[in-house]
Amino acid sequence: MCDHDHLYPEATRELGALRTRLAPQAADAFRAFSQSVFADGAVPAATKQLIAVAVAHVTQCPYCIRGHTRAALKQGVAPEAIMEAVWVAAEMRAGGAYAHSALALDTIARYQIMANAGKD
């Protein structure tokens, strides 16, 4: 299989340089924004990377998963903590589906009320 046949091309320096060349101001602004967001603050940088790992799993971005997992490891986050964060993300994703079942239940109830009203 050729490299161009992959669903997600490898994140390379060349692709990064191309992004910057095609939209330099936006690329620079995004880079500065990212550095600011992930800097130590009220929330330590390692914790921010752990949050990013969890969010990356919810958004299902393979580049973000790899990049933020690597960054979390470099910040000293234990692999066990990273996996726990992934499980938190999985629970939140599943929890969202469970919570939204209220919409389906409400729709069922409304449908049944309307169906029963039509029988009179």
Read off the DSSP letter of residue 77.
-
What is the pLDDT confidence band of residue 7, given thresholds at 50, 70 and 90? confident
Cα–Cα dist 59/108, whole Å: 29
CB atoms within 10 A of CB 75: 16
| Contact by Cβ (8 Å): 72, 50 | yes
Nearest residue to 86 (alpha-carbon basis) of 56, 108, 62: 56
- Please report whether residue 42 resides in a domain: yes
- Please report whether residue 92 resides in a domain: yes
Span 51-62, pLDDT tens digits: 999 999 999 999
Domain count for the chain:
1
- Please report whether residue 59 resides in a domain: yes
CATH code assigned at 47:
1.20.1290.10
CB atoms within 10 A of CB 57: 21
Span 27-75, pLDDT tens digits: 999 999 999 999 999 999 999 999 999 999 999 999 999 999 999 999 9
Question: If DSSP codes are grouped into helix, strand and coil, which group holds residue 11?
Answer: coil
* Domain ranges, residue 83: 38-119
| Contact by Cβ (8 Å): 55, 28 | no
